[in-house]
Amino acid sequence: MDHSFPQKVLEHLFSFIDSNKDRNAISLVSKSWYEIERRSRKKIFIGNCYAVSPTTVIKRFPELRSITLKGKPHFADFNLVPDGWGGYVYTWIEAMAVSVPLLEEIRLKRMVVTDESLELIAKSFKNFKVLVFISCDGFSTDGLEAIASNCRNLKELNLQESEVEDLSGDWLCYFPDSYTSLVSLNISCLNNEVNLSALEALLGRCPNLQTLCLNHAVPLDKLPSLLSQCPQLVELGTGVYSTEEMHPDVLSSLITAFSGCKQLKSLSGFWNVLPSYLPALYPICSRLTSLNLSYAIIQSSDIVKLIGQCPNLLRLWVLDYIEDVGLEAVAASCKDLQELRVFPSDPSCLELNNALTERGLVSVSKGCPKLQSVLYFCRQMSNAALSAIAQIRPNLTRFRLCILEPHTPDYLTLQPLDSGFGAIVEHCKDLQRLSLSGLLTDRVFEYIGTHAKKLEMLSVAFAGDSDLGLHYVLSGCENLRKLEIRDCPFGDEALLANAAKLETMRSLWMSSCSVSYGACKLLGQKMPKLNVEVIDESGPPDSRPDSCPVEKLYIYRSIAGPRLDMPGFVWTMGDDSSRKLELDVAGVEAQFRNL
């Protein structure tokens, strides 16, 4: 029997293969497979928008329908990446507008979008369906008007945590009366009021709406009428969850409205909570799998009453108002909890918070057997607590601990927290993401290099003693893809000795460290496939000795070469074109002198 697979059969088979990873695998099988695969690939994920050019992507995948792009480095979230650094999406939109008119989905994270980009999207892609902008900026509600007016098939508009210039709340009115396809709307980041009657009408005519995340400007007394238009919601972000004074009729309409939402599984929003309104949620608590109270200023006792009724929670985000006692309640009630994030209510406060300590995290680790992902801000920690967490929860895959004051030692022994984090990496064998904090020596990096074999992303701040620390990580962590470091005494040696490692990683960020300009230049010359970007707002590094440390350094691998959209405070090292220009100029100067 002929065992060969005809092209049509392969094409058909490939249509069942959807994941990025598997598509990437089959594309490498043979030349003909590569061709068949690339012509049928619909979805592409690009982890660094500067790693590849739009032209390359479009040429290779002409049938693209969905693109995901990530721009600025993660530390941009902490204001460490100066404005104007880059991450502009316009060139991508421009290229796709010409060559990929059937594009349906654009998902961006940490990119700069402009109103022009939005207008171009609105008029270029007739079948456009999904627009997701996470932590993006650079656009205004004018751009949203263009999207609303033109994208007749839009299903999702998600502006999560983006910075939008809010010029008018009327952009929602630009959705025509004939538009009914909305499935997901997240406008939680907008600052001003949106036109509520337009919103209500929109909700009423979109029967497939599943996600609605309002902004804080939506008053609570309007929520029941909005909800009555879309009782089929699965995910809701409320607006402000209080009124100036408690109104019993608002409470009763809320109770009715929430009871009508039989599919509701996820809640967020909750700016300004008036606790008397919380009982409206009680009827739906048992169905909740996700609860985000990270904007809610409420007392521990009120949180406990709420959470006690949410036995099916998988995900909980909350402020430190929850306190250890609240976390004990979580440990007792939420046996299926997978992800916990505890945020600081007042990060700048230097006083010790005796109510939210390491004990809360230990309770949840002990009580929640499925806990995998932790982000925990606190003010004190001990090696004993970390060790206990590590041994009882070896299934942790993401562990981010943020002790607010840098260099904070183990509060019981006053020792560094090396052994505690060492226990984490030793026991949690599938750990893929780790953030360190507290007083840490080079020893913690030795533990990480030795044990954290599945680690893909590491964040380090105010830690280590010497280059040895960086060397342990770069030489030991086989699966490391993203490393971000700030305020650590890491210099040239470890970086240059592990230069080859950098080609196996997506990116390295180092700011306020001790890497010299000379080393950056050397690295840029030695490793032509890396973009070694020096970011320095204090002026051209050329004007200072080579031994001077650079302010910030961002290194990433790229097949697109140095980027062309850098602002005046970013330089790419070892850029041949600039060197060539220097040589040409020198040649001309030499000729001049000979005249």
Partner 1 sequence: MAQEASSSTSSKTISLKTGDGEIFEIEASAAKQMKTVQRLIDDLGDDITIPLHNVFSKELPKIIEYYKKDITGEITKDFEAEFVKDLNDDEVKVLFLAANYLDANKLFEFLSQNIADRLESKSVEYVRKYFGVENDFTPEEESKLREERAWSFRGIKEDE
Binding residues for partner 1, rule: CB under 8 A, are: 1-6, 9, 12-13, 15-17, 19-22, 24-31, 33-34, 44-47, 51-52, 56-57, 70, 397-398, 432-433, 456-457, 481-482, 506, 557-559
> What distance in Å separates the CA atoms of residue 535 and residue 586, rounded to the nearest whole number?
26
What CA–CA distances, in Å, run from 66 to 57, 88, 451, 460? 12, 18, 37, 34
First to last CA, the chain: 81
Neighbours of 346 (CB within 10 A): 11
* DSSP-assigned beta bridge partners for residue 376: 342, 401
Report CA torsion sign: 566, 570, 573, 579.
Answer: positive
- Nearer to partner 1 by Cβ, of 21 and 593: the residue is 21
> What distance in Å separates the CA atoms of residue 87 and residue 72, rounded to the nearest whole number?
6
Rounded to the nearest 10 degrees, the angle between the axes of helix 383-392 and helix 358-367 is 10
CB 13 within 8 A of CB 523: no
| Residue position matching structure tokens 């098939």 | 153
- Nearer to partner 1 by Cβ, of 22 and 546: the residue is 22
> What distance in Å separates the CA atoms of residue 401 and residue 234, rounded to the nearest whole number?
31
3-state SS class at 229: helix
- Nearer to partner 1 by Cβ, of 45 and 282: the residue is 45
CB 532 within 8 A of CB 478: no
What CA–CA distances, in Å, run from 475 to 162, 229, 232, 468? 37, 57, 52, 10
User: Residues 6 or more apart from 399 whose CB is under 8 A from it?
Assistant: 374, 424, 428, 431, 433, 434, 435
Give the β-pairing of 552-557 and 507-511. antiparallel
* DSSP-assigned beta bridge partners for residue 400: 375, 435
Cα 37–Cα 39–Cα 45 angle in degrees, nearest 5: 70
CB 233 within 8 A of CB 255: no
CB 54 within 8 A of CB 91: yes
Give phi and psi for 552, each to the nearest 5. -140, 150
3-state SS class at 50: coil
> What distance in Å separates the CA atoms of residue 495 and residue 482, rounded to the nearest whole number?
15
- Nearer to partner 1 by Cβ, of 312 and 373: the residue is 373
